[in-house]
Amino acid sequence: MTDARPIAIFDSGIGGLTVLAALQRRLPGERFVYLGDTARLPYGTKSAETVVRYAVRAAGFLAGHDAKLLVVACNSVSASALPALEEAMEVPVIGVVAPGARTALAATRGRVGVIGTESTVASGAYERALRALRPDVEVTARACPLFVPLAEEGWWDHPVTREVAALYLEPFTGGRVDTLILGCTHYPLLRPAIAAALGDGVRLVDSAEAVAAEVEALVAHRDLGGKGGGGVRLLVTDAAARIDRIAGLILPGTAVHLELVDLPD
């Protein structure tokens, strides 16, 4: 059996494209529909109630595109709104926090750092996910709110980004953590600047690969494979020219054409 319905992916902006790129590598025959809620970005500075409201509206919109499953490629949404989305959607919903926590635990010797948006860090979602699997793990978390605008600006390895990274990441240097979770889907874009600030000896965990592996397993298990075709639709709620340019950099093999959409209340 084949299931030609698309896999829906959702983020507040371009960060989730790092997850889409990993999904495309693993599941080249699938169709994808990506929604970046760029008109409401950033989500990560907003309250959990607002993030839930935005997320449920975006998921409802994607359900209208006949998606066969929803990948929540946003840590801020995964941290605060996953139960609400699971309740609202009839199809499986996969978030990024649990796969990221599992990958970190497979890598760590016991001291894990977490960086994310203010709302992800305030939610404590990573600490809970990590401690549920390994109660004695040491966790240090810090919000890095300037990283999202720097990533959206395309300043991925800019001197300003390196300076900001050095300030934010100081608590993770000097052997205080051995593994750092990039708990925001924008942050893998800043990987060189983050790695430079940390120096050697800290393993960086990006949940994109772990999420893609989980989606691949789910598609196989539930016999949801699309087999053939492929293709990506990129929907945004505000189509700034720079998003077009940056999407092209994250998805080099994909013809990028942004479609402007409005999310009904």
Positions that interact with ligand DGL (CB under 6 A): 11-13, 15, 41-44, 74-76, 117, 120, 148, 184-186
Cβ–Cβ under 8 Å, residues 134 and 103: no
Instruction: Say which of 62, 96, 130, 184 is annotated catalytic.
Output: 184
Q: Provide, rounded to whole angstroms, the least separation between the CB of residue 4 and ligand DGL.
A: 28
**Which is nearer to ligand DGL, 193 or 224 (by Cβ)?**
193
Q: Provide, rounded to whole angstroms, the least separation between the CB of residue 186 and ligand DGL.
A: 5
Instruction: Say which of 14, 35, 59, 74 is annotated catalytic.
Output: 74
Size (the chain), residues: 265
Q: Which residue is nearest to ligand DGL (CB)?
A: 44
Q: Provide, rounded to whole angstroms, the least separation between the CB of residue 46 and ligand DGL.
A: 8
Three-state DSSP state, 92: coil
Among all chains, which residue has been given the structure tokens 């998921």?
A: 59
Question: From CA 252, how far away is CA 191, in angstroms rounded?
Answer: 18
Q: Is 144 a catalytic residue?
A: no
Three-state DSSP state, 130: helix
Question: From CA 143, how far away is CA 76, in angstroms rounded?
Answer: 11
**Which is nearer to ligand DGL, 30 or 206 (by Cβ)?**
206
Question: From CA 177, how far away is CA 202, in angstroms rounded?
Answer: 7
Q: Provide, rounded to whole angstroms, the least separation between the CB of residue 93 and ligand DGL.
A: 15
**Which is nearer to ligand DGL, 40 or 68 (by Cβ)?**
40
User: What order do you get walking across the sheet with 258-260 strand by strand?
Assistant: 93-94, 69-72, 7-11, 32-36, 232-236, 258-260
Cβ–Cβ under 8 Å, residues 251 and 20: yes
**Which is nearer to ligand DGL, 182 or 202 (by Cβ)?**
182
Annotated catalytic sites, by residue? 74, 184
